[in-house]
């Protein structure tokens, strides 16, 4: 009897703790949402702050959408993310195949050379990449947003791990059937590593969607702003109109949050794989 009581008490305590932490992580988002929903008649700077909007309205979302080219930033972010994913997966999957399943001269040198680049932070390389971008006319362009950050050692490493686990007989059977190396790669092996490709795609999407420093440096024409740069620009533009800043910020994160809620498993896998990359 008292044991059961203890268990219930323990459960209540657990849920209490879990809820407190959830309020800490989610609370700021709710406050932003509350601000975005407040109508023009309500003082958003009142002290004590009013947590619940008195006359909730979506007008601020509409206003910010019309006041600034958020739609454009949205398309830019989407296009940049999709192109980055496509390039990253294609190039990484190609490179990962021989590194996982072939023997050739300089294999180790190439592999460790690629891995070694993970040690060097982008914040250092960007100085030189910026000069390359200026000299090749990539500033203020989609190529400038995409190409310099599209391919990295992480993607190659992740897909190499996936290729390694496929049994060798599958490949041998394909050779007997007369497939060449490219056909084996495309028709036989790629379908077998789909889960890893999905993980890499999600991981790349998340990185691309929130990338800030490089777009900030390489883009000065608002036509090419991605959402993070656009939202940062917006927050400077409407420095005291927090209704619009809050609405714009929320618009920019809704896609990634929805995607996360549906594809949690791949996000977590990507995070774990990304952690190993260091």
Partner 1 sequence: MKLRKTYTPYLFLVPALIFMGIFLFYPIVDVFRLSFTNYNMIQEASYVGNQNYQDLLNDPLFWKTLKNSFIYLIGVVPLLVILPIFIAILVNRKLKGIKWFRAAYYIPVVTSMVVVGIMWKWLYRGNGLLNYLLQTIGLINEPISWLTSTDYALYSVMAVTIWKGLGYYMVIYLAGLQSIPQDLYEVAQIDGANWWQKHLHITIPLLKPSILLVTILSSIAAMKVFTEVYVMTKGGPINSSKTLVFYIYEKAFENLNLGYAAAMGFVLFVIIFILSFINFKVLGQE
Per CB under 8 A, which of residues 242..271 are in contact with partner 1? 242, 245-246, 249, 252-253, 256-257, 260-261, 264, 267-268, 271
Backbone phi and psi for residue 93, each to the nearest 5 degrees, phi listed first: -65, -40
Out of 127, 167, 169, 221, the only residue in the binding site for partner 1 (CB under 8 A) is: 127
User: Which tokens in the block code for residue 73?
Assistant: 């930033």
3-state secondary structure at position 14: helix
x-marked contacts with partner 1 along 196-235 as a string, rule CB under 8 A: ----------x--xx-xx--xx---------xxx-xx--x
Binding residues for partner 1 restricted to 160-179, rule: CB under 8 A: 172, 175
Alpha carbons 141 and 202: distance in angstroms, whole number: 24
Please, what is the minimum distance in Å from the beta carbon of residue 45 to partner 1? 6
Binding residues for partner 1 restricted to 105-124, rule: CB under 8 A: 107, 110, 113-114, 117, 119-121, 123-124
Out of 147, 162, 189, 197, the only residue in the binding site for partner 1 (CB under 8 A) is: 147
30 to 111, 206, 247, 251: CA distances (angstroms) = 46, 22, 12, 14
Q: Please, what's the b/e burial string for 91-124 (b: 16 or more CB within 10 A of its CB; e: otherwise)?
A: ebbebbbbbbbeeeeeeeeebeebbeeeeeeeee
Q: Does residue 89 belong to the site contacting partner 1 (CB under 8 A)?
A: no
Our CA dihedral for 9, 11, 16, 22, rounded to 10 degrees, sits at 170
By CB under 8 A, which span of 1-9, 31-39, 58-66, 188-196 interacts with partner 1? 31-39
Question: Cβ(160)–Cβ(124) under 8 Å?
Answer: no
**Total number of residues binding partner 1 (CB under 8 A)?**
90
By CB under 8 A, which span of 1-9, 28-36, 63-71, 192-200 interacts with partner 1? 28-36
Q: Where are the alpha helices (DSSP H) in 102-241?
A: 107-116, 122-135, 142-150, 153-164, 168-176, 181-183, 190-192, 194-210, 213-218, 227-237
Out of 132, 164, 170, 173, the only residue in the binding site for partner 1 (CB under 8 A) is: 132
Q: Does residue 13 belong to the site contacting partner 1 (CB under 8 A)?
A: no
Please, what is the minimum distance in Å from the beta carbon of residue 256 to partner 1? 5
């Amino acid at each position: 009897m008292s044991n059961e009581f203890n268990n219930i008490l323990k459960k209540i305590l657990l849920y209490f703790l879990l809820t407190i932490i959830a309020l800490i992580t989610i609370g700021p988002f709710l406050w932003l949402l509350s601000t975005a929903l407040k109508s023009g008649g309500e003082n958003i700077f009142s002290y004590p702050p009013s947590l619940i909007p008195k006359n909730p309205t979506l007008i601020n979302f509409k206003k910010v959408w019309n006041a600034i080219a958020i739609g454009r930033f949205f398309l830019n972010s989407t296009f940049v993310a999709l192109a980055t994913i496509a390039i990253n997966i294609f190039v990484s999957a190609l490179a990962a195949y021989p590194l996982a399943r072939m023997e050739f001269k300089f294999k180790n040198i190439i592999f460790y050379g690629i891995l070694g680049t993970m040690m060097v932070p982008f914040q250092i390389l960007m100085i030189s990449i910026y000069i390359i971008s200026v000299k090749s006319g990539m500033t203020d362009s989609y190529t400038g947003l995409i190409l310099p950050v599209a391919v990295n050692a992480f993607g190659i490493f992740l897909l190499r791990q996936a290729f390694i686990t496929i049994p060798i007989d599958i490949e041998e059977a394909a050779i007997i059937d007369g497939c060449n190396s490219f056909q084996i790669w495309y028709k036989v092996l790629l379908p077998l590593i789909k889960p890893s490709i999905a993980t890499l795609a999600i991981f790349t999407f998340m990185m691309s969607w929130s990338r800030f420093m490089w777009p900030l440096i390489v883009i000065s024409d608002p036509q090419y702003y991605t959402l993070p740069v656009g939202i940062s620009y917006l927050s400077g533009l409407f420095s005291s109109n927090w209704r619009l800043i809050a609405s714009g910020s929320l618009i920019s994160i809704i896609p990634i949050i929805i995607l996360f809620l549906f594809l949690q498993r791949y996000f977590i896998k990507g995070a774990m794989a990304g952690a190993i990359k260091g």
